[in-house]
Structure 1
Amino acid sequence: MPVIAIVLFCHFLTAFTALGMPLFLPRMLTSLGLADSGYLVGAMFVLPTVCTALTAPWWGRFADRFGKKTSLLRAQAGLVLGFLLSGFADSVWLFALGLMVQGVSGGTLAASNAYLSRLYGGKALAHSLNLTQCSARLALVCAPIVLGLFTHLSEPLQIYRALALLPLLALLICSFLPGDGDQAMPTAGAGPAADKADAPTRMQTGTEIGTGTAFSHLLWLQFLFCFAMVVTFPYFLPYSEQLGVGSDALSGFYYSLPHLVYLLLAFHTKKLSLSPQLQSRLGLGLLGISCLGQFLLPGSEGLLWLRLLFGLGIVLSYSGLHLLVSQSLNHKAAGLSFGRFDAWGKWAGVMAGLAASGVSQLGNLQWPFLLAALSCGAGLFVLIFSFKEVQDHACTVP
């Protein structure tokens, strides 16, 4: 089986619990004796994300020093420990400690991407980054449905205990992957040699990042894109009810639709001949139009098309952004690069959750979509003025 298939499968196993369980935090806290857990749900929801954002760059340096495979195994082992702590918690504080361990020791997305960077380069690496997003979105779609069947147990924390087996299985499988000291599998489009082979093509199409462009511009682009995407998530269900969507099941379908679009189209993005800059601009433009449309939408008519447009914007934004990252990557410091990149996405998620809560209280449930549209506009500003399509040299990550 190809290495990338193994890494993607194991990432799905780890993401299944981490992305699926937060939806059921109110029930988990109630089982610990909190009759009114509303004030704690928001804090518990962002706690693992904040911990990951704080520690991801440090774990990136760890990966560069001790090996990408070692860091991947470390992340999976951390999730096993965190899930077990949460599963056997007999107090809110021990449950919170489990969530903190999940955040501090997790970061499997960045660890998986850093490991894949030792095998792939250029467009092949960008495509592999798109696929790790596929495994995350597949978990995001499947996990709430599957886990929802078991959350009515008398002791719902038992779910964490059982699901600790998933990252444990991933750990056992990944232990057989080639280490950093082993010779990488010969893979089409892999490694720095492939980058050199692709260089004439990239220069002809003008897709290199301009000389001197700081990696911080990529981090800001990641932040603005993730903020625009995530700020619309927390209050989507009551927003759809306000529009007159008839049932929770239909609201759930509209919520999941962009992720389904990504799963259907992400495998085909490698066929696109558009430059990374143009893909990113189109993606953020479509995402911004979709969010502005949902902000102005008077009823549920047209919501289906706007959600499809939202999904297409995510596909093109990720594809362009991942191409820009793959072109600017310093493979010797790939762990730190992906750690920082992941951390900025996590901070965007935290800020998006806080912003969505604030504007929904001050305005109405449509205001998060206006924030998303404005964030897309800021991302387009960064793209237009910071990423020039030239035919010189690609920048490297400091």
Structure 2
Amino acid sequence: MRILACVLLCHFLSAFSVLGMPLFMPRMLGTFGSEAPDYLIGILFALPSICTAMAAAFWGRFADRYGKRTSLLRAQLGLTMGFLLCGFADSLGMFILGLLVQGLCGGTLAASNAYLATQLKGQHLTNSLNLTQLSARVALIVGPIALGFFTQLSEPLLLYRGLALLPLLALLATLWLPVDSSVVGDKQIAENGEQPIAVTQLAVLQFLFCFSMVVTYPYFLPYAEMLGLTNDSLVGLLYSLPHLVYALLLIPIGKLSWSAMSKTVVGLSLLATSGAMQSLTASTEILVLARLLFGSGILMTYNGLHLLITNVVSPANSGTVFGQIDASGKWAGVAAGILAGIVVAQIDIRMPFLLSVVSALLAISLLRIFNKGKTTREYQGCA
């Protein structure tokens, strides 16, 4: 519990700034005047995620070779350096360099999960993965609110200087954590008897799930305005509602004794249902219900995927596994942002929700195919 609490605190300290500051990208670029054209806002918003996706597999292999705690320290140091470069940037080029360092040398979620896989196993590891996601969602809720208050008192770029202390504090706390442990043993078999599916297949499912989730984010504000919701506080509440559902229902959902397959299929089905409702609704009441289902779907899918990941991860390969999974999720976010912009410009503001439905249903179909193929191979092996 001491190790888990420390890792979660460190991850929150790092995620707080990473997830909170991008919202204020227009104001940050405004400090550079005409040097920063408006079209750069979307590009620089996605730049750290693109860099993290590109580097995730490399850092995963680095973690397996040199140690998971070492890689976690590396990620925290990378964020500290990236924040300082942004905070002291006196030109657009230096600011972009800071974002590049933040993305290429970051990746604290994958590094934290890889380290936890050396200390925990089975259901304990699954629960810890659910909690690191909770940490990220709390940061996603609290970060923009708290940082929005401070941006009224100071230049957004100057905030980066103070925020650099957060990953630095996380780094110092991580130094007190024990080094990687190999007591967990080799690859784990699920406690409920399920056999693992391939890591590459898990990465595909992670991509489709994250795409289904993220594609609905960029244009939620104009979508809500189209429904007649002009109160920014109410729109913000509806936007954050799924993350609140995740936080409130994490413990009871985690206690369900359903299989990983069942949780994942139910979660993706809830996502698809929510997307369909949001693409068709014209009332606030139905929108609230859809957002509640959306949050439940995110929580249930993460629970199922984390169980599936636990079945294939071991202390020896946890860096590579979580690096691949993290890269897949990051690329999904990039693709979702691009496609959402295209379909909104070419078709309709509701189209991102239909893309979410298609992606979730495709993930369900592939999950059944992957599981059927695994069962067939097992049968052939017995024969």
Give percent identity, aligned residues only. Answer: 53
Secondary structure of the residue that 2:151 maps to in structure 1? coil
- Cα deviation for residue 192 of structure 1 reads 3.7
Q: Output the CA distance in 2 between the equivalents of 1:390 and 1:120.
A: 28
Q: Output the CA distance in 2 between the equivalents of 1:51 and 1:183.
A: 31
Aligned to 2:114: 114
- Cα deviation for residue 194 of structure 1 reads 10
Secondary structure of the residue that 1:157 maps to in structure 2? helix
Q: Output the CA distance in 2 between the equivalents of 1:385 and 1:6.
A: 39
Q: Deviations over 1:202-259 (max 9, x none)?
A: 22xxx333xxx43221111000000000000011111111111240000000000000
Q: Output the CA distance in 2 between the equivalents of 1:153 and 1:42.
A: 25
- Cα deviation for residue 150 of structure 1 reads 1.8
CA contact 1:86–1:95 (8 Å) conserved in 2: yes
- Correspondence 1:224-373 to 2 at 5 A: 224-373=208-357
Gaps in structure 1 of 5+ consecutive residues: 185-190, 394-398
Q: Output the CA distance in 1 between the equivalents of 2:6 and 2:282.
A: 46
Number of residue pairs matched? Answer: 377
Aligned to 1:187: none
Residue 134 of structure 2 is aligned to residue 147 of structure 1: no
Aligned to 2:198: 214
Aligned to 2:381: none
Q: Deviations over 1:17-40 (max 9, x none)?
A: 000000000000001224874201
Distance 1:3 1:22, change over 3 A: same
Q: Output the CA distance in 1 between the equivalents of 2:96 and 2:352.
A: 28
- The TM-score normalised by the length of structure 2 is 0.94
Choose 2-11 or 121-130, whichever is displaced more.
Answer: 121-130
Q: Output the CA distance in 1 between the equivalents of 2:265 and 2:187.
A: 26
- Cα deviation for residue 385 of structure 1 reads 1.1
Q: Output the CA distance in 1 between the equivalents of 2:110 and 2:345.
A: 34
Residue 130 of structure 2 is aligned to residue 130 of structure 1: yes
- Cα deviation for residue 390 of structure 1 reads 5.6
Residue type at the aligned position of 2:199: F
Q: Output the CA distance in 2 between the equivalents of 1:106 and 1:224.
A: 23
Aligned to 2:192: 202
- Cα deviation for residue 300 of structure 1 reads 2.4
Q: Output the CA distance in 1 between the equivalents of 2:143 and 2:348.
A: 29
Secondary structure of the residue that 1:364 maps to in structure 2? coil
Q: Output the CA distance in 1 between the equivalents of 2:332 and 2:376.
A: 32
CA contact 1:127–1:269 (8 Å) conserved in 2: no
Secondary structure of the residue that 1:313 maps to in structure 2? helix
Q: Output the CA distance in 2 between the equivalents of 1:193 and 1:81.
A: 35
Residue type at the aligned position of 1:354: I
Q: Deviations over 1:287-336 (max 9, x none)?
A: 10000110111232311110000000001100000100101224311101
- Cα deviation for residue 391 of structure 1 reads 12
Distance 1:98 1:193, change over 3 A: closer
Gaps in structure 2 of 5+ consecutive residues: 379-383
Residue type at the aligned position of 2:96: A
Q: Output the CA distance in 1 between the equivalents of 2:354 and 2:37.
A: 29
What is the RMSD of the two structures over their aligned residues, measured on CA atoms? Answer: 1.9
Aligned to 2:87: 87
Q: Deviations over 1:335-355 (max 9, x none)?
A: 011001100000000000101
Residue type at the aligned position of 1:222: Q
